[in-house]
Structures are given as structure tokens and as C-alpha cells.
Amino acid sequence: MEYVNIPGTRERTSRLVFGCEQLGGQDWGRIDMTEMLRAVDAAVDHGINMFDTADVYGLGESERRLGSALRRHRAKTLIMTKGGVRWSTCENRARARTRLDISASYLRAAVHDSLRRIQRDCIDTYLLHWPGDDHQIRDAVGELSRLQDEGKLRYIGLSNCSDRQIGVATQVNAIAAAASEHCLVGPRVPANVLRRGREGRLGVLAYAALGRGLLAGTYSRDSEFPKDDRRHRLATARPKWFGEALRVAGLVTPIAARMGRTTAQVVLRWALDTPGVSCVICGMRSSSQLMEDLGATGWNLERTEWEELEGLAGGTWRTAPARRVFRTGQPGAVENA
């Protein structure tokens, strides 16, 4: 396993981070929870020490299951969770109603609820899942700073944010990490956020590198997702983006074969080798997926190989549809990592 020291922290963090959204058991089709929990155990055995979740994943279930699964690994694992999305369930609705809420009172309650679910006294890294306007960010980071002073949080970060929003947050407190989508055929980490990573001022965490599985080389144009799988409704599953992901995956496959790697391993390596990226968050449903993803570590792309991959999408990611679905105070669907 490769490790990195996140700037401003004392942590030696695995560059592959185990993404635990699917551990919530919702919105990803059928999940074999027993097998996924085996993968969590195996990940620790293979050197992964950072696990990423959020309170809204499975409406608390991901945190609960992760906390239980890591109880015996407490001394050698780090948990990163996210908050700031309030949810409510309704009769006759299969999915929860959600809204952005990063008010001080809600965040304080959310942090204490997350601590209870993960069965720890302190959260290693806590991210604002979706930042709001400048005033909201300042108030939210101020409250997280108080929770940090109380020993409830070790480090603070932002998710799905711009460089300007990071700048606003750093006026209040040090920001250790920022998580952003980073995909060959989807949105990328903002350039100025990557610059902070290259300059050693921020830990940059890339997620969705595999396009929620579409770049793993395992799907075809005949593939369909069930209605209880979020990919059934997200923009990446619509014909234009689905077709583009399959096109790019098809171009990566012979490159990977030339390297003696799988398509997924090469795509993950592209993300890991992106200058400024500290870690890559990977959702892993099984031990077999874990073992394949581990094959993305311990080697590097040549610069020419990285540039070849970088050019495959032809810039289409710049026009990928925005995926933020929250408006402050209004209900929406949980569709974002």
C-alpha cells in the first residue's frame, strides 16, 4: 500500500481510501452485506487505514455498520465522515427527502449522532458534505472548530467545494482535506484545489474515478441498472454519458492490456498519479473488487501514458452536468457522494 501524510495532520494515510456509501445498503441495487463487511476486514489486512462514509449514507446505516466492523481495528484505522445534509422519511416514499443544513445547531447534533454510530470518542476527519454560501461556511467551520476544541473532531475539511469556498473556510480554521469528484468522463477536481495539493497546503481526495463503475471495463451498451440503483437515474447513466464512458473504457482496455493491468487499475492509477491528488476514494462491494483495486498501487504511469489517458475524453468532462441537487431549505434526493 502507498501512504501519504495529509498536510497539517499527523496522519500517515493510505492512498486508497475505502468508500463506504454502499455499506448503507440503499440506492446501489442489491448489496451482499456479508461480503462487503468481509471486504472491510480484508482492506485493513492489506494496509488500507482510511474509511470514508457520511451520515446520510443509508440514513445512518453506513456509519453504524462501519463502526461495528472496525471496532477491533480501532487502533490502526481512521474514519472520515461527512455531515450537513438533513433528511426525513415519509410514508409512501421509497427514498428520503433531504436538504442542505450546515447550521451550527444541526452540525453539533449531527457530529454527536455520528460519534454514537461509529462508536468512537473522536472523528478523525469531518467534512462539510456540501458547503453553502460564504456566511454559512464561516458559521459552520466556526462550530466545527468548537467541536474540535472539545476533542470531538481531529481535522476539518470540505467536500464538493470550490477553491474560493476553501479560502473562505480557511479564514476561520485550518482545512486539512477537500474531497471532489475526479473522473476521465466527469467533473474534475478544480485546478486551483489541485494547486493547493501540489503545494502541500491541502489533502485532496478524489472520488468517482471509475465513473461509479462505468469505467471499470465490465459494462456494455446492453447493460441496465435496476431502479433501486442510483445509476439508473443519474446523468452518467443517460445515453450520452453512458455511451461516452463506455467509449473511453474501451480505449483504456488495450492500454491496460499493454501494461498487464486491468482497465479499472489503470483508471485508478490515472487518478492517483494526477498531480496534487493525495488519495483516491474507491467504493468496494466485495473482496474481489478490493483485490483488483489494490492492483492500482505500487507502480506509476509514465508521464506519456498519463497524458495519453488524460486526452481520451477529449474535454467532454467540461460539459458534464452538475450533480448538486440541494437548495438550502428545500427537499431533494440523496444523489451525491
Res 232: pLDDT? 55
Smallest CA-to-CA distance from 158 within 176, 178, 181, 139 is with: 178
Distance, in Å, from the CA atom of 139 to the CA atom of 6, rounded to the nearest integer, reads 25
- C-alpha grid cell, residue 246: 463506455
Distance, in Å, from the CA atom of 152 to the CA atom of 123, rounded to the nearest integer, reads 6
- C-alpha grid cell, residue 255: 492500454
Longest dimension (CA), the chain: 55
Cβ atoms of 21 and 53 closer than 8 Å? yes
* The domain defined by 3-319 carries CATH number 3.20.20.100: yes
Res 150: pLDDT? 97
Res 246: pLDDT? 84
Bridge pairing between strands 177-181 and 153-159: parallel
Q: Contacts for 69-77 with beta carbons within 8 Å, 24 or more apart?
A: 69/37, 69/40, 69/41, 70/40, 70/44, 70/118, 71/119, 73/44, 74/120, 76/44, 76/49, 77/44, 77/49, 77/50, 77/51
- C-alpha grid cell, residue 12: 500517515
Res 327: pLDDT? 32
Res 318: pLDDT? 44
Res 319: pLDDT? 37
| Selected catalytic residue, list 3, 57, 126, 219 | 57
Res 28: pLDDT? 63
The predicted model scores a pTM of: 0.87
Across the 337 residues of the chain, what is the mean pLDDT of every consecutive 10-residue run?
90 94 75 90 96 92 95 94 85 69 95 97 95 93 97 96 95 96 88 94 93 76 66 58 82 94 96 96 91 96 93 56 36 39
57 flagged as catalytic: yes
**Domain-wise residue ranges, the chain:** 3-319
Res 123: pLDDT? 97
